[in-house]
Amino acid sequence: MVELDLIKAAQAGDRDALVELLRGIENQVYRTAYYLLNNEQDALDASQEALIKIYTKIHTYEEKAQFRTWVQRIVTNLCIDKFRRIRPSVSIDEHELIFESKDNVEDEVLSVYASEEIREAIGKLPEHHRSVIILRYLQDFSYNEIADSLDLPLNTVKSYLFRARQQLQTLLRDYQKGGVRG
Amino acid sequence: MTCDEGRELVQRSVDNDLDSQETALMNEHLRTCPDCSALFDRLTLLSSNLAELPRVTPPFSLVDAILPRLELIDAGNGGAAQAAGYAADYAEQAPVAGSVDAAAAESAQAPLAAPAAGDELARRRRNRSTTRRILAAIAAGIVAGLVIVAAPTLLHDSSSDNDSFALSEAPAAKQRAASESSAAGEPASGYEMAAPSSESGEVAPQAMEEPLRANSSSADSGSASAGEGDAKASSSADEPEQLQGLAFGSAIPSASPSPSAGSAETNKALGAGEAAGGSADQGLTAGDQSESLGDTVTGSIMSVPFAEPLTWISPDQKLKAVAEEHRVSVYRMEDGTLVFQSVLHDGEELSSIYWEQDSSALRYSWKAEDGSFTDLVWTVSTNAESPAGTNSAQSSASAK
């Protein structure tokens, strides 16, 4: 409600309200950028760009969308553009999973992965899978909110999310097998 | 139940997306299927690991960091809005130029929307101090000579007011070049009046000299009018007479390269709009419409500047960068010796080029056919070309 008032004031041209609104979202913007780009400096650049974009485009926000999904749409689009420029994306086939056979499953030891490893693994996902995972776990978005943010159909969101989790699992298991961890 | 269905339920259960009936179905399947049961355990664990990832926060307030840029954007938008009205006065180009400006002014609806957007923005800006406006105008003047095409790499320069100003201002100003071309002749005398008004003013004329001489490409008129945009933004408010000189002064460059300015000039000026579109892509100012408009208008036009080499002189007047076809070369001003020559970038277009303000480096960016960018920096002291990394903001900030 407070946020809504700020948005309305900001759209009516109240600059202070707009700045306050930005202060309220800067952490969530940064968090997405940080995990999407996997690099602090890039994340700082991208989230500042995103905040500026929000500042200049606030009047285009319409209430039918949730403000936070609108914000996340801006920041994910910006980051995706940015990391397309910074580095070539991982081929979607590279970690395409045929679900592992039974003996693999039995060999596997369940373990808690270090957040550093998880972050690295997220960084290896194709961009849309990465976005979906980040919105789900770092913004606590529902399927619908993710769909709104990324402008994807609901079923696509689910299939990206499910596949991303399987890919992460494979990647993290490979880390272990590679002896990264004892 | 098949394992396919079982896996789907497992995945959804991890997201708490199952109702009680589906949960019962899943549990029943898990009891009989070790594979799916193992999957359930692993996904549940992974999911809780993911949910526990650190909620990182920025090391400093991002909003505080961008406040100066936001102020400049406010000023810059005013320029664009004002220019939209300006364009309407010079009706020859109004249909096209007006709509580009409207987009830059964030209204992005139709040419007619521009004045309305201007009003709204003017309201938002009302309490800017005069000093600030004047400073912004001067900053724009300095930058005008430096920024030839809106550079995506500039976006990284978060710490510099001047640079960021260029960013926010350039798109609008360049688009305005279209409407300016017919108007530019009148006010040349204003320049002398405005230039000595500050030490920054002395830098500006030098910076603008070369674009004047270089040739009459779109980049020239675009950059030259960057300064003017803000001056008008400023004068649009309360103290028009104080700033009028600056506003007119910087109009000179766009007038001089092609005094006979027919429709060709208009086309070139619109070419500059494409750069603005690129910038809009980065999200600083214009709406989608300006992007698409820019692209449509210019696709073919942006290659024109290569017909004659463009030249950029370093702020300290010692070096001259020349954009030859698909490569950048740097010559010493004194005796014209070649200092540096980049490799050929076949199939790529030079999308931006500018000197650091302290003349320590030349930054430029190549745009490939697939739309990807390669940002490079050539450092004077080392005479070496390197990728413009993410630290560019830091290095350029510390250099000042």
ipTM: 0.85
Among chain B residues, CA nearest to A84: B372
- Contacts of residue A34 in chain B, CB cutoff 8 Å? 56
- Contacts of residue A57 in chain B, CB cutoff 8 Å? 106, 283, 287
Residue B61 DSSP code: -
Strand partners, B321: B312, B330
Q: Supply the pLDDT for residue B318.
A: 85
Using 50, 70 and 90 to split pLDDT, how confident is the model at B308?
Answer: low
Using 50, 70 and 90 to split pLDDT, how confident is the model at B139?
Answer: low
Q: Supply the pLDDT for residue B273.
A: 40
Q: How far apart are CA B271 and CA B219, in angstroms?
A: 8
Q: Supply the pLDDT for residue B340.
A: 86
Q: How far apart are CA A139 and CA A84, in angstroms?
A: 22
Q: Is the pLDDT of residue B153 over 50?
A: no
Query: Which amino acid, residue B365?
Result: S
Are the beta carbons of A44 and B106 separated by less than 8 Å? no
Q: Supply the pLDDT for residue B76.
A: 75
Q: Is the pLDDT of residue B336 over 60?
A: yes
Closest-CA distance, B48 to chain A, in angstroms, reads 9
Mean pLDDT over B119-146 rounds to 52
- Contacts of residue A27 in chain B, CB cutoff 8 Å? 55, 57-58
Mutate to test the interface with A, among B2, B14, B66, B168 (most CBs of A within 10 A): B66
What are φ and ψ of residue A116, in 5° steps?
Answer: -60, -45
Q: Supply the pLDDT for residue A50.
A: 96
- With an 8 Å Cβ cutoff, is A26 touching chain B? yes
Mean pLDDT over A31-53 rounds to 94
What is the number of alpha carbons within 13 Å of residue B186 lying toward its C-beta? 8
Altogether, the residues listed in chain B come to a count of: 400
Closest-CA distance, B392 to chain A, in angstroms, reads 10
- With an 8 Å Cβ cutoff, is A57 touching chain B? yes
Are the beta carbons of A112 and B69 separated by less than 8 Å? no
- Contacts of residue A42 in chain B, CB cutoff 8 Å? 390
Q: Which of B41-55, B124-138, B311-325 has the highest mean pLDDT?
A: B41-55
Q: Is the pLDDT of residue A107 over 90?
A: no
Q: Supply the pLDDT for residue B389.
A: 63
Contact (CB, 8 A) for B102 and B110: yes
- With an 8 Å Cβ cutoff, is A125 touching chain B? no
Closest-CA distance, B18 to chain A, in angstroms, reads 13
The CA-based dihedral angle spanning residues A100, A104, A106, A111, taken in that order and rounded to the nearest 10 degrees = -90
Look at residue B365 and give its three-state secondary structure: strand
Q: Supply the pLDDT for residue B320.
A: 84
Are the beta carbons of B390 and A143 separated by less than 8 Å? no
**Which residue is associated with the tokens 């592992």?**
A100
- With an 8 Å Cβ cutoff, is A1 touching chain B? no
Of the partner residues B73, B120, B390, the one whose CB lies closest to the CB of residue A45: B390
Using 50, 70 and 90 to split pLDDT, how confident is the model at B299?
Answer: very low
Q: Supply the pLDDT for residue B81.
A: 43
Among chain B residues, CA nearest to A101: B35
Are the beta carbons of B390 and A169 separated by less than 8 Å? no
The encoded tokens of residue B350 equal 């030079």
Q: Is the pLDDT of residue A23 over 50?
A: yes
Question: Comparing B64-68, B69-73, B91-95, B207-211, which segment has the lowest mean pLDDT?
Answer: B91-95
DSSP string covering B151-216: -GGGGG-TT-HHHHHHHHHHHHHHHHHHHHHHHTTTTTTHHHHHGGGSHHHHHHHHHHHHHHHH--
Q: Is the pLDDT of residue B48 over 70?
A: yes
Contact (CB, 8 A) for B329 and B321: yes
Domains and CATH numbers, chain A: 2-86 (1.10.1740.10), 102-177 (1.10.10.10)
Q: Is the pLDDT of residue B317 over 60?
A: yes
Q: Supply the pLDDT for residue B152.
A: 45
Q: Supply the pLDDT for residue B312.
A: 79
Question: For chain B, which residues make up each domain, given as ranges?
Answer: 3-51, 64-297, 309-400
Query: The domain at B309-400 falls in which architecture?
Result: Beta Barrel (2.40)
Question: Comparing A159-173, B97-111, B314-328, B337-351, which segment has the lowest mean pLDDT?
Answer: B97-111
Using 50, 70 and 90 to split pLDDT, how confident is the model at B376?
Answer: confident
- Decide which of A179 and A107 is more confident: A179
Are the beta carbons of A172 and B46 separated by less than 8 Å? yes
Rounded (10°) angle between helices B218-235 and B199-214: 150
What are φ and ψ of residue B342, in 5° steps?
Answer: -80, 165
Q: Supply the pLDDT for residue B282.
A: 40
Mean pLDDT score of chain B:
60
Are the beta carbons of B42 and A169 separated by less than 8 Å? yes
Are the beta carbons of A45 and B61 separated by less than 8 Å? no
- Decide which of A24 and B106 is more confident: A24
Q: Supply the pLDDT for residue B400.
A: 36
Burial pattern A49-86, b for ≥16 Cβ within 10 A else e, equals: bbbbbbbbbbbebeeeeebbbbbbbbbbbbbbbbbeeb
- Contacts of residue A117 in chain B, CB cutoff 8 Å? none
Mean pLDDT score of chain A:
84
